[in-house]
Amino acid sequence: MLQKTGNKTYKSPLHKLARFFEKSRDSWKEKYGKVKTENKYLQNRIRYLEKSKAQLSQEALELREKVNRLQAERNKKKQLRKK
């Protein structure tokens, strides 16, 4: 007996088709849920790493400025000693 649903015709009984399609839908939803969760985690991770990178860059810039300032002070002291 052929079962007609919409544009498709199936040989299997409707109760078997219903279980198959339900299982297929549930498995798709589970897979999508896992992918969505992983995507959210990765987006958060990227945001954290970008923020961390910006903070480290700012800290490195401040340290470079401090090193330059200290070197300038040291050079001034050396010049004063020579005089």
Q: Assess if residue 26 is contained within a domain.
A: no
Q: Assess if residue 28 is contained within a domain.
A: no
What is the pLDDT confidence band of residue 2, given thresholds at 50, 70 and 90? low
Domain that residue 64 falls in: 51-83
What is the pLDDT confidence band of residue 10, given thresholds at 50, 70 and 90? confident
pLDDT in tens, 25-73: 999 999 999 999 999 999 999 999 999 999 999 999 999 999 999 999 9
- d(Cα 4, Cα 65) in Å, to the nearest integer? 77
Number of domains in the chain: 1
Q: Assess if residue 77 is contained within a domain.
A: yes
Q: Assess if residue 20 is contained within a domain.
A: no
pTM for the predicted model, two decimal places: 0.61
Of residues 51 and 10, more confidently modeled: 51
Give 44-57 as a 3 state SS string: HHHHHHHHHHHHHH
